Amino acid sequence: MSQSLRLGVAGLGTVGASVVRMVARRAEAIAAATGREVRVTAVSSRDKTRDRGLDLSGVTWFDDPVALASSGEVDCVVELIGGSEGPAKATVEAAIAAGKHVVTANKALLAHHGAALSKAAEAKGVTLAYEASVAGGIPVIKALREGLTGNAVSRVYGIMNGTCNYILTRMEREGLTFEACLKDAQALGYAEADPTFDVEGFDTAHKLAILVSLAFGVEIDAEGVSVEGISAIQPLDLTMAEELGYRIKLLGVAQVAEGGIEQRVHPTMVPKSSAIAQVMGVTNAVTIDADAVGELTLIGPGAGGEATASAVVADIADIAAGVARPTFGRPAASLAPSERVAMQRHEGGYYIRLTVHDRPGVAAGVATRMAERDISIESILQRRSESAATKDPHGRSGQPVPLVLITYAATEGTIRAALDAIAADGLLAEAPQLIRIERE
């Protein structure tokens, strides 16, 4: 058997501790599969006194993860610190500079510095592996980089944040507000004390940027992703989606478009009959549309210590077996520049909820502004409360009521222009709600 692969684990949180345990528990199986023993020889974390339930006897402790990365005691550095800058970036850079392989779960680091790090890894002849950075235990990186090499991918989309999916699931099933579901998610440990990164879509955007590079052979462009979160979604939107045959999910979507790759993260209405609509709770799912296989959907745990550790250990096993592939599926120098497609050019169906004054001519005024921009309306639904309907014989109260429009395919730019005109006419009592429809 070849000389053992010595691991240095930087970061001993939930995932890091799970990786150490999994490597020990699966040591014989990993050795049998790869022909090489794999063992943890060094670790680093902020708190040495914390009881993690790990046997670290015979393992060297480093207070400084950069020192661990530069140490002669490790061949492969497993970075589980997190964050796009600071110690995580310094640790990965030091490991590559020292000629060591790197395994990371850090989507923010890759989204912002993946191009530079992949070039540095290539120059040093080492592997930069990151299966755990997107969708936790789902092997979507391997699927795109290895399993679908013979396919031309036209679209990648999915649920990549369990926190948002949990909140939307609870809102739909129980009719709760976003705020109430977020509070529960925080109590259960699904959401951070500051949930902005998750609920406003930035976490999903980082993951999508990574998938875009793999799927379409372009440089990572995290800044080119249009991002909207779920904090403005109201229970009424989920009720209306149900009536219309849809379910609302926060999706990351990337697809080939005229002039480049469209990259967007936003709440989306998906048909209830679709595979991705069945994914509830904290589960993640990624769908890949490709010419040879058609539609491929991968579903599984998107976070958690064991699930994420599973992806980390899979990368470690590849390195132990000598499996080496370019970081983003092809040499970094051959990645094409990412051509941004403005969100204004996106074309598709839209759910529009307008809160309008309940008075004569409002619906006609809305329809006129839509028609002026050649926006075709598939359906219009209006909701009045029973108390409002008793105010006058015509059922009008003059109070704000929701008016829901479903459009046929239109561009984002024309939809926005029509909504601006409707607002200028004084027909709206509050800002409109706009949700894109992603049909199968």
Residue 298 DSSP SS3: strand
Residues 4, 24 contacting (CB under 8 angstroms): no
Angstrom distance (rounded) from CA 203 to CA 198: 5
- Comparing CA positions, the residue from 156, 158, 150 lying closest to residue 291 is 150
Closest by alpha carbon to 56, among 38, 45, 41?
A: 41
DSSP H helical segments within 2-85, as ranges?
Answer: 14-25, 27-34, 65-70
- DSSP assignment letter at 145: I
CA distance 302 to 132: 9
Q: How many CA atoms lie within 13 A of 237 on its CB side?
A: 29
Q: Which two tokens stand for residue 353?
A: 């909820």
Q: How many CB atoms lie within 10 A of CB 375?
A: 21
> DSSP letter at 143?
I
Q: Which one, of 79, 81, 64, 86, lies nearest residue 127 by Cα? A: 79
- Rg (the chain; Cα; Å): 25
Cα-to-chain-centroid distance, residue 60: 35
In the block, residue with structure tokens 């999706």: 251
Known catalytic residue at 207: yes
Distance, in Å, from the CA atom of 25 to the CA atom of 266, rounded to the nearest integer, reads: 40
CA 73 to chain centre: 35
Please check whether residue 77 is in contact with residue 103, taking contact to mean a CB–CB distance below 8 angstroms.
Answer: yes
| Active-site entry in 89, 100, 207, 249 | 207
What 3-state DSSP class applies to 56?
Answer: coil
CA atoms of 419 and 424, how far apart (whole Å): 9
For 277-291, give the DSSP string. GG--TTEEEEEEEET
Residues annotated as catalytic are 207
